Structure 1
Amino acid sequence: MAVFLLVTSLFVIAINGWSLWNSWQQTVGEKNDDARNLSVSLAKQAEDAFLQVDITLADAVRQLRQRGNDYAATPEFLRQLKEQQGKLPQLHGLFVYDVQGHWIASSGNFVPTNASNADRAYFIWHRTHNDTNLLIGRVIRSRSTGDLVIPVSVRLNDSQGHFAGVALATVRVDYFRQHYSYFALGNKDTLGLILADASALYIRPFPDNVIGRTLSTSPLFKTELKAASSGNATWRSSLDGIVRVFGYARLERYPLIVTAGYDLDNIRREWMAANLINVLLNLALLLAIAGMGFLLLRQVGTNVRNQIELTYVRDELTNINHTLQSLALVDGLTGLANRRQFDALLEQGLLRSLKTGDPISLVMIDIDCFKRFNDTYGHVAGDECLQDVAWALKNSVHFHGDVVARYGGEEFAIIMPNTAASEAKIVAERAVRAVMDLGIAHESTEVPEGIVTISAGYGALVSEGKPAEAEQLKKEADRALYQAKRNGRNRANGPA
């Protein structure tokens, strides 16, 4: 009877616990999807808004350039500027400034006399950079109307390519404020438009003093955007310290990021309210079972209860320790042995060599010009490259006991017990060919083939039981590796 009551209670707890956990995971998953979808949708809206401004500004510059190098503004040109401004609700104004920052043309009705915008950050940037691409700057306050606007500007050049002024379009911050207000969100839910340099352009529902704040310490810029241009994650906001489920998306065409965040506490409260009745009913059932079980099981001796509890705790700790030991010895990205396991296996191999008198060999491997690969293709592609190289290296060893490890960064190592230097050379050269055969494009490499390659150095010794033999073997293989790099990379080199 006691076993039956216990099993029944545990079954009720497990079923309800699993049901609640599954419900919570489903709720969080739906919010993650909602946040990501909302951020992607808003990113598309923002891209369309800035694309329209981009096209309008480019058309105005084209018309202005057709009038000659003096960039003089005719009444017809001013009329066209006003018409173009009226077509776009997000557009605050169109302006043209000469080389001193004086107003040549404006889509507005008021042009300040002798006013100069030469002190504006966008004007200074264009004056000091030859780049004629579109520049989206931080939020400023308009000198003509006092509104908060986002400057979108291009450099004007004369026929000799010298700086001749700036063409500017200003986008209303209130346009995004109004658009974001249409969404029915909680009081602590957020929608944000952020420059790629981490400065805030507008974030709902925060006041205007948040505009211009730098968010570089946010996990969005420290980790998430480095991994993917869009996605979802949960982190604590750097603005108010509230934990939210965020979705984010980087615009493809412009240096802007859109975020959507749902307050995690509010999600939890809504979830608890939706599941409250089920929880109370099941709790009442559990209490009834527990009451009957208590009347029966209180006769069980203290020693038996203690033994059961100790056994349970011991098993849990054993499982945790096994899990931790496994995680501590494997590289999370490549699945190879990590540096800690490498050091342990190398010491074990040296002890075996001391006992048997057989040599042990070590091959040190480095991906050629990997930093340039990351700079050219990004860290996501870099991680994929590391995984492909790890796969190729793992398939290069054919003997039981040989271990491929990730030594650190783009460095790998192969430990080969019972292996002489001549055999290590074969394995090292096989590894070099295996990585070449992957054919991973690498346009910024110094290797003529234009693909990802590796350099390898190998060394071998027979252990004599000296304490510094591991370092000696690593230094020998490392010297050979750098000799291979000096000899032109994409090759294997042995000890001198």
Structure 2
Amino acid sequence: MTAFLLLTTLAVIVINGWSLWDAWQHRLKEKEDDARNLSVSLARQAEDTFLQVDISLGEVVRHLRQNGLEYAATPAFTRQLQEQQAKLTQLHSLSVFDADGNRVATSGRYIPAKFSNADREYFIWHRTHTDANVHISHVIYSRSTADLFIPVTVRLDDSAGNFAGIVLAAVKVDYFKHFYSYYTLGERDELGLILTDTSILYMRPFPDTFIDRRLTASPLFKTPQKASNSGNDTWRSSLDGVNRIFGHARFGRYPLIVLVGYDRDRLRSEWLSANLTAVVLNLVLLAVIIGMGLIVLRQVRTSVRNQLELTQTKDELTTINRTLQSLALVDGLTGLANRRHFDALLDQGLERSRKSGEPISLIMMDIDFFKHYNDTYGHVAGDMCLKKVGGLLSNVTHRHTDLVARYGGEEFAIILPFTNAADAKKIADGAVRAIREAGMVHGATALPNKVVTISAGCCTIIADGHEGEATQFRERADAMLYEAKHRGRNRAMAAG
């Protein structure tokens, strides 16, 4: 009995220790996912912020190219700058500088008498580079208002192609401070925006003195994190030495990174606090088991056995439910959404279009001469072809609202909410091009390039909710698919 009680004590300690450790690992995994998801979400928001500024800069450059650089000194152009700034809350100001760095126009209210930006890093960069894309620089103080802002600039050229100045959009650092303040984080949790050259544009919760500090030693800029667009890992911050769980996301268009970090020590403290009661209760239970000995041994063994069976049954049911859910919504071969998921999302998209008045687009696709491919290479190779095509199509869209699905057999479909006909046609053309350029050999095709290709049909509507609308929508897209096949395949056609 003594040996049995010792073994019981050891078993209780080991089981509860393992349960606590497993709960801690689950907590860490949960926070790693939270950090990555939050960084990706904030990266999309920040990219939209800079894209709006990019578009505004393009509008300013277009006006100057149409009317000449001397148009920048007119009151009408100043009013245009002020109207452009008023549309974007993130803008501190819009300004135009000539080839000598002198400000010739601005949307700001205060203009110093003697003002030259020829010594600014972004001005020197544009003077020595002919790149026509926007340039995002380190955070600087405004010489007119002393506010912190992120310079977003574009080069101006004269009619001969020589450097004629720059257009500057000053993006307020306070805009990101205000936006990031909405998120409830711990005192030592990090949330920041970084340039890919490792310099900080803004980092919560650190003061402004940390802005422009470089993170060269951070693992974020080392392999493998450096090569990935998004991810998560744990490392000790080079700013304050705090060990954090980090999530990061890189921009597709701009040289920027969003970094989210959760204080690992705080998470451990919260986990311990949450499990302290369970630990104490288990110790009391252990003392009772030892004290009662033979009297309660049988009941304890029965209770433990029932509890283990219940846990196993619960785990089995959870696994079964997850498997059933996956089978219900995911195509087993390609990993894309299946027909059932497609039908549900199409109905939801049409309902959303009806309520919002926004367009919704549908692309139906079909692998050209797939039956010949199966007959030539066999069904196993055909399945591999379908799987690869599905993988390529899943990378054609990047919005979380879009859905790529296997419609059936060799047919695929893409649902594009809030997408007009022109953009849908571009995506369809991109899908056709992606499959063709993958270069999968198809010796049995009737097309001259002898590679696997697809045909696609697009349709765009604004839903009105009439009966059978989803069926008609699919039929119109399908009709365009067959029109593409009729015209020679390996192309996309859109409804007129």
Q: TM-score with structure 2 length normalisation?
A: 0.57
Q: Counterpart of 1:58 in structure 2: which amino acid?
A: G
Q: Counterpart of 1:84 in structure 2: which amino acid?
A: Q
Structure 1 position 136 matched with structure 2 position 136: yes
Q: Counterpart of 1:212 in structure 2: which amino acid?
A: D
Query: Aligned partners of 1:290, 1:245: CA distance in 2, in Å?
Result: 41
- 8 Å Cα contact 1:64/1:71 also seen in 2: yes
Q: Which residue of 1 aligns with 2:84?
A: 84
**Superimposed CA distance per residue, residues 167-210 of structure 1 (whole angstroms, 9 cap, x where no aligned partner):** 11000000000011111111111101000100000001100000
Give the drift of 1:288. 5.5
Structure 1 position 167 matched with structure 2 position 167: yes
Q: Which residue of 2 aligns with 1:331?
A: none
Give the drift of 1:10. 2.4
Aligned pairs for 1:239-258 (under 5 A) are 239-258=239-258
In structure 2, do the counterparts of structure 1 residues 159 and 181 end up closer, same or farther at CA, with 3 Å as the change threshold?
Answer: same
**What's the secondary structure of 1:238's corresponding residue?**
coil
Aligned pairs for 1:94-133 (under 5 A) are 94-133=94-133
**What's the secondary structure of 1:259's corresponding residue?**
strand
Query: Aligned partners of 2:7, 2:146: CA distance in 1, in Å?
Result: 72
Aligned pairs for 1:186-197 (under 5 A) are 186-197=186-197
Q: Counterpart of 2:106 in structure 1: which amino acid?
A: S
Aligned pairs for 1:261-300 (under 5 A) are 261-287=261-287
**Superimposed CA distance per residue, residues 130-171 of structure 1 (whole angstroms, 9 cap, x where no aligned partner):** 111110000000011110000000111111111110111000
Q: Which residue of 2 aligns with 1:28?
A: 28
In structure 2, do the counterparts of structure 1 residues 156 and 227 end up closer, same or farther at CA, with 3 Å as the change threshold?
Answer: closer
**What's the secondary structure of 1:223's corresponding residue?**
coil
Query: Aligned partners of 1:98, 1:290: CA distance in 2, in Å?
Result: 87
Q: Counterpart of 2:200 in structure 1: which amino acid?
A: A
Q: Counterpart of 2:191 in structure 1: which amino acid?
A: L
Query: Aligned partners of 1:197, 1:90: CA distance in 2, in Å?
Result: 23
Q: Which residue of 1 aligns with 2:260?
A: 260
**What's the secondary structure of 1:65's corresponding residue?**
helix
Q: Which residue of 2 aligns with 1:378?
A: none
Give the drift of 1:227. 4.1
Query: Aligned partners of 2:50, 2:292: CA distance in 1, in Å?
Result: 69
Unpaired stretches in structure 2, ≥5 consecutive residues: 294-437, 441-496
**What's the secondary structure of 1:3's corresponding residue?**
helix
Give the drift of 1:286. 3.5
Q: Which residue of 2 aligns with 1:435?
A: none
Q: Which residue of 2 aligns with 1:233?
A: 233
Q: Counterpart of 1:64 in structure 2: which amino acid?
A: L
Give the drift of 1:228. 1.6
Query: Aligned partners of 1:26, 1:274: CA distance in 2, in Å?
Result: 14
Query: Aligned partners of 2:95, 2:225: CA distance in 1, in Å?
Result: 34
- 8 Å Cα contact 1:65/1:71 also seen in 2: no
In structure 2, do the counterparts of structure 1 residues 156 and 20 end up closer, same or farther at CA, with 3 Å as the change threshold?
Answer: same
In structure 2, do the counterparts of structure 1 residues 180 and 69 end up closer, same or farther at CA, with 3 Å as the change threshold?
Answer: closer
**What's the secondary structure of 2:223's corresponding residue?**
helix
Q: Which residue of 2 aligns with 1:12?
A: 12
More divergent stretch after superposition (25-34 vs 145-154)? 25-34
**Superimposed CA distance per residue, residues 417-459 of structure 1 (whole angstroms, 9 cap, x where no aligned partner):** xxxxxxxxxxxxxxxxxxxxx999xxxxxxxxxxxxxxxxxxx
Query: Aligned partners of 2:213, 2:105: CA distance in 1, in Å?
Result: 31
In structure 2, do the counterparts of structure 1 residues 244 and 173 end up closer, same or farther at CA, with 3 Å as the change threshold?
Answer: same
Q: Counterpart of 2:113 in structure 1: which amino acid?
A: T
More divergent stretch after superposition (225-234 vs 202-211)? 225-234
Give the drift of 1:3. 3.4
Q: Which residue of 2 aligns with 1:390?
A: none
Q: Which residue of 1 aligns with 2:204?
A: 204
Give the drift of 1:71. 5.4
**What's the secondary structure of 2:49's corresponding residue?**
helix
Q: Which residue of 1 aligns with 2:3?
A: 3
In structure 2, do the counterparts of structure 1 residues 439 and 13 end up closer, same or farther at CA, with 3 Å as the change threshold?
Answer: farther
Query: Aligned partners of 1:264, 1:286: CA distance in 2, in Å?
Result: 31
Query: Aligned partners of 2:69, 2:276: CA distance in 1, in Å?
Result: 73
Query: Aligned partners of 1:128, 1:269: CA distance in 2, in Å?
Result: 53
In structure 2, do the counterparts of structure 1 residues 226 and 291 end up closer, same or farther at CA, with 3 Å as the change threshold?
Answer: farther
Give the drift of 1:75. 1.2
Two-structure CA RMSD over aligned residues (Å): 2.1
Query: Aligned partners of 2:169, 2:2: CA distance in 1, in Å?
Result: 79
Unpaired stretches in structure 1, ≥5 consecutive residues: 294-437, 441-496
Give the drift of 1:291. 7.8
Give the drift of 1:289. 5.6
In structure 2, do the counterparts of structure 1 residues 189 and 33 end up closer, same or farther at CA, with 3 Å as the change threshold?
Answer: same
Query: Aligned partners of 2:171, 2:188: CA distance in 1, in Å?
Result: 26
In structure 2, do the counterparts of structure 1 residues 44 and 177 end up closer, same or farther at CA, with 3 Å as the change threshold?
Answer: same
Q: TM-score with structure 1 length normalisation?
A: 0.57
Query: Aligned partners of 1:163, 1:287: CA distance in 2, in Å?
Result: 83
Structure 1 residue ranges, 4+ long, deviating more than 3 angstroms after superposition? 69-72, 285-293
Larger radius of gyration: 1
Query: Aligned partners of 1:291, 1:132: CA distance in 2, in Å?
Result: 81
Q: Which residue of 1 aligns with 2:183?
A: 183
Q: Counterpart of 2:205 in structure 1: which amino acid?
A: P
Query: Aligned partners of 1:289, 1:19: CA distance in 2, in Å?
Result: 19
Give the drift of 1:121. 0.2
**Superimposed CA distance per residue, residues 89-141 of structure 1 (whole angstroms, 9 cap, x where no aligned partner):** 10000010000000111011222223110000000011111111110000000
